[in-house]
Amino acid sequence: MIEILVSFFLLVGAAFALIGSWGLVHLPDFYLRLHGPTKATTLGVGGMIIGSVIYFSSHGETLSLHELLVTLFLFITAPVSAHMLAKAALHLQLRSEERTRNRNDV
């Protein structure tokens, strides 16, 4: 039973990481591509971490919670790096898609 639960969360995590990476490859401009990794860092890693907590808590003697720190650190660092990347892109005036609304005001 626990194995099914662990596999489920691992698969959900992996699926979102894959979709995030797919977005990174296939979206047309830099700003859009920035959106891909946010999925990998939130639900992607989140799913795998829940799987890990369940697995090690049921196989070890004690509750294993230090995986939650991965989530905490990711939630602190991921928005900052996304922000810095976007700022650098704006500074370099990278091309954005023609149909992006308000693209000339930034």
Partner 1 sequence: MKGFSWLPHPYLSLMLLVIWLLLVNTTAPGHIVLGTLLAILVPRYTTTFWSDPPRKVRLLPLLRYTLVLIGDIIVANVQVAILILGPASRLRPAFVHYPLTLQSEFAITLLASTISLTPGTVTADVSADGKGLLLHALDLEDEEALIHHIRERYELPLKEIFEC
Nearest-approach distance from CB 48 to partner 1, in angstroms? 14
What is the number of other CB atoms lying within 10 angstroms of the CB of residue 27?
15
Give 28's DSSP letter.
S
Distances in Å between the Cα of 25 and the Cα atoms of 1, 21, 53, 64, 94 are 36, 6, 31, 35, 17
Quote the CA–CA distance of 20 and 25 in Å, as a whole number: 9
Q: Which of residues 46-75 bind partner 1 (CB under 8 A)?
A: 62, 64-66, 68-69, 72, 75
Number of residues that bind partner 1 (CB under 8 A): 45
Residue numbers of the site for partner 1 (CB under 8 A)? 16, 19-20, 22-23, 26-29, 31-32, 34-36, 38-39, 42-43, 62, 64-66, 68-69, 72, 75-76, 78-80, 82-83, 86-87, 89-90, 96-97, 99-103, 105-106
